[in-house]
Amino acid sequence: MSLRPIRAIVYGLGSVGRVTVRYLQEKNVEVVAAYVRTIEGKDFSAPELSGVEICQPHVPFEKFGADIVLMTHCSHLADLYEPAVRAAKAGLDVVTIAEDAFEPFYIDHETPVARELDAIFRANGKTLVSVGVQDTFWYAQPLSFLASVQRVDRLIGKNICDLGAFGSVGGHGDQIGLTKDEFYAGGHDKPSGHRGIFEVALRPLVRAMGLGIKSTKVDNEPILAERDMPHARTERPIKAGTTCGFMERVVFELEDGVTAEGQFIMQHLPEGATAFNEWIVEGVPNMNMRTDNFLGDVITPASLVNRVRDTMDAEPGFLSVDQLKPARYFPTLARCNG
């Protein structure tokens, strides 16, 4: 039986986008184009970009005869909307790492945009879904972990993201290098105007647990450096006692007296420290599951690439990951003809 390669477009060539191109090619995907905002002054000489057409956003998707677009350029629905709509109308599925898109339909100020995207993708018979770390480590992993638990009183997810590993995407420069008082005076403890990353990511997991959400609380807390961090690539120097990052905390009070909490810690790590992901269950039994050396800049594109075929095989619309097949590893993404 013959196989044909999937033809993919990568939209966004930041640090994650460039790794995504390479990972796709290693799994026998033909990357036909990569989109960037600006071309001037950029270096596109990397071996994996040989034969890949570098385009700016005005270039139509239709010219490439692609199957799917992997969008790595944004976090928010507002930035995802325009290229995603163009892709759907060009007959392309879209898989993205935009955090706001991970759970499309809970009710907030972005719900009308999500519903419009869903209608557009359904009308064109194509699929839009957001994946990444949330899909694998914040949905599939804890769901499996909870299968060994008799009773849950409190579930805590904790993730440390190394801001230094993500280039300009991980900046948060206005919140770094501040005293604790400056952090609170600047209002950085208040939720942003966008969906919180764990506030979004916990929802498919809670839904899979069969428990409704009774109340939600979201706030941010400063993370203070214990010593000077002269090697951190930041706009403002990080001195001992000033912020090297912050924690976005969401707490859901659920039915049956259960509490679910997410702690997303975005910080520049001190020398010798590594990022980690951890789940803690308080109940019967009390236990935890921790992943050290949590390389988000590797895990994110790998999780994205491993969802290509699942996205192409899914029902049309703007979906959540619990509407896809269970996440898994693919040694190759080539497809059977026909």
Average pLDDT over residues 126-131: 98
Q: Is the pLDDT of residue 169 over 70?
A: no
Domain check: are 98 and 82 in the same one? yes
Query: What mean pLDDT is predicted for residues 65-83?
Result: 96
Q: Are 177 and 270 members of one domain? A: yes
What does the alpha-carbon distance between residue 43 and residue 100 come to, in Å, rounded to a whole number?
Answer: 30
Q: What is the pLDDT, as a whole number, of residue 65?
A: 96
Cβ atoms of 290 and 103 closer than 8 Å? no
- The neighbouring-strand residues paired with 280 are 156, 288
pLDDT at 97: 97
Band (pLDDT 50/70/90 cuts) for residue 336 is low
> Within this chain, do residues 140 and 50 fall inside the same structural domain, yes or no?
no
Both 288 and 215 in one domain: the answer is yes
Instruction: Evaluate if residue 172 carries a pLDDT over 80.
Output: no
* CA distances (Å), origin 32, targets 51, 97, 128, 262, 276: 8, 20, 20, 38, 35
Split at pLDDT 50, 70, 90, the class of 2 is low
Q: Does residue 171 surpass a pLDDT of 60? A: no
* 301 lies in some domain: no
Query: What is the Cα–Cα distance from 173 to 73, expressed in whole angstroms?
Result: 19
Rounded mean pLDDT, 239-245: 95
Strand 317-319 to 151-162 pairing: unpaired
Answer yes or no: is 28 within a domain: yes
Instruction: Kindly state the average pLDDT of the residues 4-16.
Output: 94
**H helices then E strands: how many in the chain?**
9, 15
Q: Are residues 181 and 235 in the same domain?
A: yes
Q: The CATH number of the domain where 319 resides is what?
A: 3.40.50.720
Is residue 321 a part of any domain in this protein? yes
Please, what is the angle between helix 15-26 and helix 296-305, to 10°? 50
Asked if 280 and 255 sit in the same domain, the reply is yes
| Average pLDDT, integer, range 306-330 | 97
Position 168 scores a pLDDT of: 45
Q: How many domains does the chain have?
A: 2
* Euclidean distance between CA atoms 157 and 19, whole angstroms: 27
CA distance 60 to 204: 34
What are the tens digits of pLDDT across the range 40-58? Answer: 889 999 999 999 999 999 9
pLDDT score of 241 more than 50: yes
pLDDT in tens, 101-123: 999 888 788 889 999 999 999 99
pLDDT for 326? 95
Mean pLDDT of the chain, nearest integer:
92
Q: What are phi and psi of 103, to 5 degrees?
A: -130, 100
With respect to residue 302, please indicate whether it lies within any of the assigned structural domains.
no
Amino acid at 92: L
Q: What is the mean pLDDT of residues 283-297?
A: 94
Q: For 173-201, what is each residue's pLDDT tens digit? A: 788 999 999 999 999 998 877 777 888 99
Does pTM top 0.85 for this prediction?
Answer: yes
Q: What is the DSSP string of 37-96?
A: S--TT----SGGGTTPEEE-TTS-GGGG--SEEEE-S-SSHHHHHHHHHHHHHTT-EEEE
Is the domain of 116 the same as that of 175? no
Residues 112 and 138 in one domain: no
Q: Are residues 212 and 316 in the same domain?
A: no
314 domain residue, yes or no = yes
Both 123 and 139 in one domain: the answer is no
pLDDT(332) > 50: yes
Q: CA-CA distance, 165 to 148, in Å (whole number)?
A: 34
Query: pLDDT digit string (tens) for 77-101?
Result: 999 999 999 999 999 999 999 999 9
Q: Is the pLDDT of residue 130 over 50?
A: yes
**In CATH, what number is assigned to the domain containing residue 281?**
3.30.360
Q: In which domain, by residue range, is 261 found?
A: 134-295
Would residue 93 count as lying in a domain? yes
* Predicted confidence (pLDDT) at residue 296 exceeds the cutoff of 80: yes
126 and 138 share one domain: no
Q: What is the mean pLDDT of residues 269-277?
A: 90
Q: Do 119 and 255 fall within a single domain?
A: no
Residue 338 has pLDDT above 80, yes or no: no
Is 172 a member of any domain?
Answer: yes
138, pLDDT greater than 70: yes
Q: Does 211 map to a domain?
A: yes
pLDDT top residue among 334 and 278: 278
Sequence-ordered alpha helix ranges (H) in the chain = 15-26, 77-89, 111-123, 133-135, 141-146, 180-185, 197-209, 296-305, 308-313
* Per-residue pLDDT at 170: 46
Distance CA 118, CA 257 (A): 33
pLDDT at position 3 is: 72
